[in-house]
Structure 1
Amino acid sequence: MITDIYVNKPVPYFSEQPLPQFNRSIDIARIIKGLEADKPVLITEFYSNGLQLLKALQEHLKDKFPGQTFNEQRANRSAFRKLSSLIYIKIIDHKLTVKKAPAIGWLEKLYPEHQSFLLPFTKVQGLNSAWQWHLNGITLPVLRNKIHPYYGVYFPTRFDHLIVFDNWLKRYSGAKKLAIDVGVGSGVLSFQLIKHGFQKVFGTDTNPNAIVGLTESMGDTKMSRKIELDFAPLFGKWEKPVELIVFNPPWLPVSQDMDTNDEAIYYNENLFLDFFTEAKKRLLPDGKLVIIFSNLAEITNVTEVHPIAKELAEGGRFKLENCLRKSVKSASNKTKRNQNWRGEEMVELWELVHA
């Protein structure tokens, strides 16, 4: 039941001793040295003081990790994540206690039992961004209605792979009784399936926020009767074979530093073997298995192993019916990261059938 699911959220911090404070009159270099010595700090006076300290921390780390390569960028982000997690801000009665701070609805929704606590400043930033996305909604080129993603749920910010899938669905001529969407996330693929005539979609996810968020956003609408959700890995409680299985897995091998949302981005070494083993049992004899992927890990030299190609070469469970590829749009001119590799990136739709 939905009431049995506890959402992932930033853990409240309760300090027994007052933390050193940071405001505009305090030397930033000294504060950063303190952070590197694992000493937390509290943002006071203005919300912008937190932004100022984070910017200084980024500049400090840029000397150590200039970010010229993909791996260097990952190292920079890892160091930033560790140090910035020691920068706190105080919440009282579900409001930030500094001036010119944003109003964040998640503070009341996710922490009804706490009146006074601390959160890392970067987590508050994340809560603020997520609240704006949730409140205003996101327009996608493949859906009629906006999606309103819940806190802590991955949602697409690039649409090439969704367009490839939508085009595939337009040409799909098989039965449309039931599909399984493994890793339903913010529900986009399931919504696409319903849009293209599927009568029922069974969606699973290991992220409780995805299940809670979709359940809330669908409410008691017609969509809620067409999409059934299960908080579970892979296929969950669904054992009946279906016409179509859809999987948009993470595109990169697991990182050493994972937070909850990273499970939508990084895959562990057993994910694909477990998926293909279970998918074999749940696909009807003439059914289709569609996997939406990317060559991102290969072109950034994170790995030489393409998990789907490996399965086709060694698994003996499935054979390739078709593979569609689409070049990814180049990186925004606004991005500060070196993303020259984006010119080589392709999103992929692998259509497999029983071997």
Structure 2
Amino acid sequence: MPTIDWTEDRTARSAAWHAESAAPPPRRVVVADDRTRAATAYRLACEGTALLWRGDYHNGRRLLQAVARRVDGRTPPPPADPAAAFHLHRRARGHRARVLGRLLVLLDGRHTLDLRRAPDVRQACDEAYGPPEGPVAVPLTELLGVVGAHQWRLKGVEVPALGARIHPHYGVFSPVRGEYVDLVARAPLPGSPGHAFDLGTGTGVLAAVLARRGLGRITATDASPRALACARDNVRRLGLSGRIAVTGPALFPGGGGRAGLVVCNPPWLPARPASGLDRGVYDPDGTMLRDFLAGLAGRLEPGGEGWLVLSDLAERLGLRTREQLLTLIGAGGLRVTGRLDTRPRHPRAADTADPLHAARAGEVTSLWRLAADPAAASPPPPAHRTGGGDGRGGHGGGQGQGQQR
């Protein structure tokens, strides 16, 4: 692991460095405590200097909030063009994450936070990072996300369409937006599919919904090891291990098998993720969407159907057109047999202060019903691959931090 170095009490010290954003270790680190002013912390962080917090835990959180207010106060108003507003918003969020990520804390060799009034973060860190391997410095923002994810995992998220709670893990997109789950719960099933695939399963929520609807055999996949562990945990909790097999890391199951129903809810925005935690929201170049549509026809049983769950937010932001989506569907040897639409119910849709409010206010989430086009040559089943999107995995869990698109 990379390391950071600093001087404390006239002694040179070092520790391993970890950041989920894959940010490199800061070159300069100074010690900060309860005497450090927010203006000083903001200036140093903007200059690239990291501050290792050694004061009271709650004072460190307050300092972080004060620095965040300074960053947010310098964000320019969004332009009228939706695509320009999106890219400006992403740059602003990236700058904000970099600046706030320079306030660090040190976890000891047991994942203990040795600060006054600090909570016990050992279990949360063990779940997110695995067994401790020695002292490690992490951004305070990341640690707060880890602790929040632990609470999500303990309490779970109520899914009305499932009649149960789903427990997201850290790094897996949480199913807090229930409208897409409701689409899968009410869409007419294609005949009597004996076998279904849930591609990019994430928390396993859609696989569980399909099982509750009576499907007896479901294969759930994901490219993310964290999502695979999360889905297996939820399948076990729900008593569905005999009906749902979780496999990966891959988009399509290995072996070239076919199914009567193939469901995929890829990340909705075709943009580069800033970190692994962003892969539940951003699908670089629409890779997962393209791979799903290119491989679907070759994985459908005769009379089978593919369900693509996708928001039109990318279209409203100027990142993809409806024509491009339909072209991808046709190029995959597929035809559209129907579509179910729903409006978002999450708070951002009504938040006029959101820089992307104009696009979010009109957003529509759709379940596209796709079938192999008999007029097109049937493509061979795709080869087993480990790429494709990470997906929250495609739809499940928030890094456990309650991320929303």
Q: Same fold, TM exceeding 0.5?
A: yes
Name the SS of the counterpart of 2:228 in structure 1: helix
**Structure 1 gap ranges (5+):** 1-11
**Structure 2 gap ranges (5+):** 8-28, 79-84, 374-405
Q: Which residue of 1 aligns with 2:175?
A: 156
Q: Which residue of 1 aligns with 2:390?
A: none
Name the SS of the counterpart of 2:6 in structure 1: coil
Cα distance between partner residues in 2 of 1:51 and 1:306: 47
Question: Identity of aligned pairs, percent?
Answer: 24
1:352, distance to aligned residue in structure 2 (A):
0.6
Cα distance between partner residues in 1 of 2:324 and 2:281: 15
Cα distance between partner residues in 2 of 1:22 and 1:67: 32
Name the SS of the counterpart of 1:293 in structure 2: strand
TM-score by length of 1: 0.88
Greater shift in the superposed pair: 285-294 or 159-168: 159-168
Q: Which residue of 1 aligns with 2:163?
A: 144
Q: How many positions carry a matched residue from both structures?
A: 340
Mapping of residues 264-343 of structure 1, within 5 Å: 264-269=280-285, 270-304=287-321, 308-312=325-329, 314-315=330-331, 317-329=333-345, 331=347, 337-338=354-355, 339-343=357-361
Tell me if structure 2 keeps the 8 A contact 1:36–1:83: yes
Cα distance between partner residues in 1 of 2:203 and 2:173: 7
- For residues 116-173 of structure 1, what are the alpha-carbon distances to aligned partners after superposition, in whole Å with 9 as ceiling and x for unaligned? 22111111011011000001111111112211111111112211111122111xx325
1:335, distance to aligned residue in structure 2 (A):
8.4
Specify whether residues 307 and 315 from structure 1 end up closer, same or farther in structure 2 by C-alpha distance, changes over 3 A only: same
Cα distance between partner residues in 1 of 2:345 and 2:237: 38
Cα distance between partner residues in 1 of 2:106 and 2:2: 9
TM-score by length of 2: 0.77
Specify whether residues 217 and 14 from structure 1 end up closer, same or farther in structure 2 by C-alpha distance, changes over 3 A only: farther
Tell me if structure 2 keeps the 8 A contact 1:331–1:342: no
Name the SS of the counterpart of 1:297 in structure 2: helix
Please state if 1:131 is matched with 2:141: no
Tell me if structure 2 keeps the 8 A contact 1:13–1:119: no
Greater shift in the superposed pair: 177-186 or 57-66: 57-66
Tell me if structure 1 keeps the 8 A contact 2:336–2:368: yes
Cα distance between partner residues in 1 of 2:237 and 2:106: 37
Cα distance between partner residues in 1 of 2:351 and 2:64: 19
Q: Which residue of 2 aligns with 1:66?
A: 76
Q: Which residue of 2 aligns with 1:17?
A: 6
Cα distance between partner residues in 2 of 1:148 and 1:317: 37
Q: Which residue of 2 aligns with 1:181?
A: 198
Cα distance between partner residues in 1 of 2:332 and 2:136: 54
Query: Which residue, 310, 333, 344 being the options, matches 2:362?
Result: 344
Specify whether residues 46 and 200 from structure 1 end up closer, same or farther in structure 2 by C-alpha distance, changes over 3 A only: same
Tell me if structure 2 keeps the 8 A contact 1:85–1:120: yes
Cα distance between partner residues in 2 of 1:238 and 1:144: 33
Cα distance between partner residues in 2 of 1:133 and 1:156: 11
Specify whether residues 281 and 89 from structure 1 end up closer, same or farther in structure 2 by C-alpha distance, changes over 3 A only: same
Q: Which residue of 2 aligns with 1:4?
A: none
Cα distance between partner residues in 1 of 2:233 and 2:319: 37
Specify whether residues 306 and 40 from structure 1 end up closer, same or farther in structure 2 by C-alpha distance, changes over 3 A only: farther
Specify whether residues 306 and 99 from structure 1 end up closer, same or farther in structure 2 by C-alpha distance, changes over 3 A only: farther
Specify whether residues 189 and 311 from structure 1 end up closer, same or farther in structure 2 by C-alpha distance, changes over 3 A only: same
Q: Which residue of 1 aligns with 2:132?
A: 113
Root-mean-square deviation (Å): 2.3
Query: Which residue, 237, 259, 263 being the options, matches 1:242?
Result: 259
